[in-house]
Amino acid sequence: MAILVTGGLGYIGSHTVVELIQSNFEVIIVDDLSNTEKYILDGIQKITGVRPVFYPFDLKRRELLTQVLEAHKIEACIHFAAYKAVGESQEKPIDYYENNLFSLINLLQEFKSRNISNFIFSSSCTVYGQADEMPIWEETPLKQPESSYGRTKRMGEDILKDFAIAHHKKVSLLRYFNPIGAHPSALIGELPLGVPNNLVPYICQTAAGIRACLSIFGQDYPTADGTAIRDYIYVVDLAKAHVAALKKVIHHKTDSLIDIYNLGTGKGSSVLEVVKGFEAANQVRVKYEFKPRRTGDITIAYADVSKAERELNWKASTSLEEALKTTWQWQKHLESRNS
């Protein structure tokens, strides 16, 4: 029995594939390489000693998905494959709805009639919008997400809840806070395609001289230093949470289950703290300037992680400093690869 990992060569997907293999799961990857490269498969192989079966196609091609499901005995699916750039989703909302929802629906159309009962979904803390109270726990009321990207995640959750109930399946909806860092081997990490939107990749490229200066969006937030606060979780810790969530759904005895977990560290850090932390961890300078707030950004988000601790026996254990070190090591690896 194997685990189908869609988007398994992407940022969080590839780290999860490594953890799955190291927990003795057989992994089948489907990835259309729209936001990564096949080279990540080599990294997975170097780390684990296993080269998982890999199918390069877009999940909107349902006939190809059918072939994979006929060729392998699949026990569960971890579904990462999706577009994820918030700003881009505002410019191309229909592409986001098409890609993120059609691929999900194709998977569920296939699974509903097959004996594949376990499904893990990449969701996001964006489903909470700007929550009224911190920390955010799983019962915090959901708000309309600010972006089309966020709405695809919210809709994905709703679709999966209906799927679990109507078809007696077990689903786990994992709401990530802000994933950062790379594997300690520096053999896999987030591949930079274009100008980064997210904070830590932008800091890293500024330190490396690829970008001239980091813009810090907003110095007038009602926080201690005036910059916005997020919960930055190390990607390997996040990957391990997927294995824990997967084991829970697989071993769950009743035929229908909807699990929801916040995956963060429980600690908020401001943009300035992350910049200073990166400088201190890696002994580098990051040039920055303050700019107006970015449209759609919220002031503060950090997780209450007690449910995942209690029910999954999982807790993020890597410090912000350690995570920021791995980001820089990965950057150096990319530079040596390109030189």
Interacting residues toward ligand UD1 by CB under 6 A: 84, 86, 124, 126, 146-147, 150, 176, 178, 197-199, 202, 214-217, 228, 230, 271, 294, 297-298
Residue 171 and residue 160 in contact, taking contact as beta carbons nearer than 8 Å: yes
Q: Which is nearer to ligand UD1, 197 or 313 (CB)?
A: 197
* Least distance from ligand UD1 to the Cβ atom of residue 298, Å: 6
Q: Which is nearer to ligand UD1, 162 or 289 (CB)?
A: 289
**What are the structure tokens assigned to 66, written together?**
């059918």
Q: Which is nearer to ligand UD1, 14 or 124 (CB)?
A: 124
* Least distance from ligand UD1 to the Cβ atom of residue 50, Å: 28
202 included as an active-site residue: no
**What are the structure tokens assigned to 15, written together?**
């780290």
Q: How far apart are CA 320 and CA 179, in angstroms?
A: 11
3-state secondary structure 63-100: HHHHHHHHHCCEEEEEECCCCCCHHHHHHCHHHHHHHH
* Least distance from ligand UD1 to the Cβ atom of residue 150, Å: 5
Residue 177 and residue 228 in contact, taking contact as beta carbons nearer than 8 Å: no
* Least distance from ligand UD1 to the Cβ atom of residue 85, Å: 7
- Integer CA distances (angstroms), 230 to 148, 225, 233, 334, in order: 20, 13, 9, 27
Positive or negative, the CA dihedral 22, 44, 192, 212 is: positive
Helix or strand run (H / E) with residue 230: strand 229-230
Of 149, 202, 221, 302, the active-site residue reads: 149
Q: Which is nearer to ligand UD1, 106 or 178 (CB)?
A: 178
Q: How far apart are CA 335 and CA 339, in angstroms?
A: 6
Q: Which is nearer to ligand UD1, 68 or 303 (CB)?
A: 303
* Least distance from ligand UD1 to the Cβ atom of residue 200, Å: 7
Where in the sequence numbering do the catalytic residues fall?
149
